[in-house]
Structure 1
Amino acid sequence: MTPILLACEQALPQLSVGRLNVDDYPQLTKKLQVQGLPTLLLFQNGEPVARVSGFQPKSRLLDYLQRRLGREQHA
């Protein structure tokens, strides 16, 4: 999913992508309630505000992120 996320990051300048290896950070994984992979969490001001679980095609994920980020900017 990394190439898809990097493409989304390039298309959306307000998006910053980070990755977490769940094997290296099991307590944080539990705190964030990550139960399956891949899981995408959107954060605003350091707090998770949205979650996408499971693989998403690039077009679908990009559309979702555009809509979600547009809402966050107007909130």
Structure 2
Amino acid sequence: MMNATAELLKTKIENFSPETLEAFARIVESFEETSQPAIPQFQLDEILYRIQFHHENPMTKLDFYDNISELQKSCA
């Protein structure tokens, strides 16, 4: 699905006029400038692990809210 979408976009972009291509490039560059809060990879891995574990063991408690203040401090 992702490759098909990329190929479709590539074909459309190749047919842009020079002016449209330049405008499109400016739009894409503006997307890159928006920064997202940096969440350490180990925290993302931990969340993924907890979700996977809970999915395999549905009777367990997801304790995201117990550590939410620590995550908020990291993203501040």
TM-score using structure 2 length: 0.27
TM-score using structure 1 length: 0.27
Instruction: Tell me which protein shows more helix as a share of its residues.
Output: 2
Instruction: Tell me which protein shows more strand as a share of its residues.
Output: 1
Query: Which structure: larger Rg?
Result: 2
